[in-house]
Structure 1
């Protein structure tokens, strides 16, 4: 591997102190000489966070799998195109008319705004899970409706119908991190499966589903194991009520829970809404249907947390589902229909108009879950530099976890106290990447992207190696 170290004298004494440049370069060489990284693809770019001046680069334009560091591009674009104060809106309304007895001669309609936070465990944690449904029904009652002669209609036409990005792998989409972004995402589009396990090697028993998905058929092949961690994987696709669960969970547990993606979140929302309506004494003549509706009389608008808050959750906790919603919302706002393909075009167009070389950006999704995503470390670093001077800089930078927080919890707070290090991490099989900002020992700030693809050895060992590299700066 050829390493090119760029020394710009004007910055050498400002950005790095003492012999930090030489130490960093030497540590990179030592790391890459280890057997597990000799055949790996490695890209590193370090730049002055204010000027963008390159201070170090190794394969800067190499296209690589970014994993969750792609969320940097998605969240930055969403903040720039939608605005930090943007909120998703879900509207409750009706068609027809309400007579003097409170009978609605028409349909009750819920119009999707693409909100990924309805009933989310990441927000409103002090409230009951379905608090938003109770709020909607309260507004329905306040409007004078006591009985609905028609149907409860869920209008999810805002999003183009696509189950999941076609390049997501089968082993991901049944699990919680592979949840599909739906026009009616609810409860983070995941459900909890609770098992009871026996002796090592024995079959497990499913004792609870939460929420209870009555139509779901589960083929449970999970065994009890000496391994004291969750090694169970759920297989199944959106809109399919069949699930196979394979793998192991720890032995002799009275209750051990895992999370999986909900097959049809809109259907679940309909069931939950119907239940709350009936509990409040509202009679319903029809059923729950999914359709596009025009000329809806709006009686209530539910707003999500701000985009700033959502982006912080995306980057702090690496929530794939939210990232996919942010991507879809770009074209939903621009064209009226949220489409993955169109949104990716808009991302490319946005950065191209800012002078970026978008031939270094290939997106298949917004979260980085697809192995088909490809981006250069130079592109990611340039986005980081650009966002430092953006009007949305504070929202973006503060969305990145510091050492000891979120997905950066394993990084030393002694080496990187406070907000010294603000980084988005990304990992999948044989992929580990970090990108963000670092305040050097001189107090100056650098933007960087460190990407490793196709390495052997453990993730934890490489994480420690990269942490050591950063500590030399």
Structure 2
């Protein structure tokens, strides 16, 4: 017997509604259980789940509560950058000189590396951006121009960005460490380097053996104490602006195998200029003066000269590849560079504040209340950032039908067998991403603030809630 068409449609509709109700009920039960857990007694918890195709709300608990998102904010920054810059966007670094070259091949002027905001210059993440590759390109360009010696300086010019490298709201303890590396118009080696330790007996000082790469223009002062086995790395680097003395404070476990920490480079433009100067001298190309940067010149009330002759342009990998590593390794620097770049592309004064404003305005036009995007940065490192899970989920949903969505989806790490970006700062655990449930593609944002006890334990408890989406 042939079943009437309307009965088939009715059956499918009822089946879909039943599945949705079942998922909603399961999520509600799991969410309630999490809220009642002793670790979350005083916590603020929010979860929003949407149909990734239609934007229909599947589940919501406290969806409009403003919470610190930690690194899940990077999904918002990434999607905004894809929209405003384009997946094929390339940063460009200009290399050239001021002055003139005489008949003997002496440049009477300065060699200038003028940054374009590229976060990948000197980075190890891409075959074409590694430090030795970039330095070879620069040296080859100089040699092809006929320059045999330089009566002047090598200058790292980062003036395309403003002078405030650190966003308002970042805490002092973070700033000297790799994840607190500030933005720069001229980045170099992701604005970080390694300090190698030598531990002693428990309670004795930890010595600085060396750095990688060598940092001869820094004086390192270790106040780190060797701590008991199992206590981990609790050492932090501190570098006052304009001071060549880097202090390292805290404790480092006697049993840690790596015996090194990664710290922030406060003036990457200077380091880029220093590396090129050092390489040139080792190749027999003399440079008469010490390297400079926009920062060191400003201390002398000078500005970087304008490039009169461009020798080469170094292009970054396309934006889609940058965002891949931004999210895979949660690189705060990349997010902050993108935030300033969208302000630059919009023709606004370049600053973190203007980047936030550009981001807010983009989403305001698309129906998102800017009060749900109360932000201080693009990476989520600022503890004062506030955003709602409803807003994150809706921004995730807008990405699904974009041509760059597959690349963005692949940039999200795999946690708990789910493609999602994690976020963790003090007393914050968060996740945002996508999951397919019974053939239905979902997007979600989950945030917990102010939990107590073990981060690992509360993360596993949140995973139990998100397991209902599988």
Mark yes or no: TM-score above 0.5: yes
The correspondence for 1:451, drawn from 433, 447, 455, is 447
Aligned twin of 1:23 = 26
Give CA-to-partner distance per residue, 1:388-443, whole Å, 9 cap, x none.
122322232221112xxxxx3xx2xxxx3xxxx21011011111111110111x12
Aligned twin of 2:72 = 69
**1:253: Cα distance to partner?**
6.7
The correspondence for 2:323, drawn from 301, 311, 326, is 311
Query: SS of the residue aligned with 2:121?
Result: coil
Aligned twin of 2:434 = 437
The correspondence for 1:258, drawn from 255, 258, 261, is 261
* Correspondence 1:57 to 2:56: no
1:186-335 aligned within 5 A = 186-228=188-230, 229-251=232-254, 256-290=259-293, 291-294=303-306, 296-335=308-347
- The verdict on how the C-alpha distance between 1:322 and 1:221 changes in structure 2, with shifts beyond 3 A counting, is same
CA distance, structure 1, for counterparts of residue 338 and residue 354 of structure 2: 13
For these two proteins, the number of residue pairs brought into alignment is 448
Contact 1:401 1:422 in 2 (8 A): yes
Query: SS of the residue aligned with 1:79?
Result: helix
1:104-115 aligned within 5 A = 104-115=107-118
**1:124: Cα distance to partner?**
2.8
- The verdict on how the C-alpha distance between 1:191 and 1:296 changes in structure 2, with shifts beyond 3 A counting, is same
**1:25: Cα distance to partner?**
1.6
Aligned twin of 2:352 = 340
| Aligned alpha-carbon RMSD (Å) | 2.2
CA distance, structure 2, for counterparts of residue 260 and residue 274 of structure 1: 23
CA distance, structure 2, for counterparts of residue 82 and residue 128 of structure 1: 24
Contact 2:176 2:237 in 1 (8 A): yes
Contact 2:229 2:255 in 1 (8 A): no
Q: Structure 1 stretches (4+) deviating beyond 4 angstroms?
A: 9-12, 14-18, 252-255
* Correspondence 1:401 to 2:413: yes
Contact 1:103 1:148 in 2 (8 A): yes
Contact 1:71 1:315 in 2 (8 A): yes
Comparing 447-456 with 461-470, greater Cα deviation is found at: 461-470
**1:377: Cα distance to partner?**
0.6
Tell me the TM-score normalized by structure 1: 0.89
- The verdict on how the C-alpha distance between 1:230 and 1:16 changes in structure 2, with shifts beyond 3 A counting, is farther
**1:12: Cα distance to partner?**
7.1
* Correspondence 1:386 to 2:398: yes
CA distance, structure 2, for counterparts of residue 460 and residue 286 of structure 1: 53
- The verdict on how the C-alpha distance between 1:396 and 1:10 changes in structure 2, with shifts beyond 3 A counting, is farther
**1:292: Cα distance to partner?**
3.7
- The verdict on how the C-alpha distance between 1:285 and 1:232 changes in structure 2, with shifts beyond 3 A counting, is closer
Aligned twin of 1:5 = none
Give CA-to-partner distance per residue, 1:49-76, whole Å, 9 cap, x none.
0111011111111111011111111111
CA distance, structure 2, for counterparts of residue 341 and residue 10 of structure 1: 48
**1:308: Cα distance to partner?**
0.5
- The verdict on how the C-alpha distance between 1:145 and 1:16 changes in structure 2, with shifts beyond 3 A counting, is farther
Gaps of 5+ in 1: 1-8, 403-407
- The verdict on how the C-alpha distance between 1:132 and 1:20 changes in structure 2, with shifts beyond 3 A counting, is same
**1:152: Cα distance to partner?**
2.2
Contact 1:199 1:252 in 2 (8 A): no
- The verdict on how the C-alpha distance between 1:16 and 1:159 changes in structure 2, with shifts beyond 3 A counting, is farther
Contact 1:84 1:395 in 2 (8 A): no
Tell me the TM-score normalized by structure 2: 0.90
Gaps of 5+ in 2: 1-11, 294-302
Aligned twin of 2:368 = 356
Contact 1:180 1:238 in 2 (8 A): no
CA distance, structure 2, for counterparts of residue 336 and residue 370 of structure 1: 23
The correspondence for 1:136, drawn from 135, 138, 141, is 138
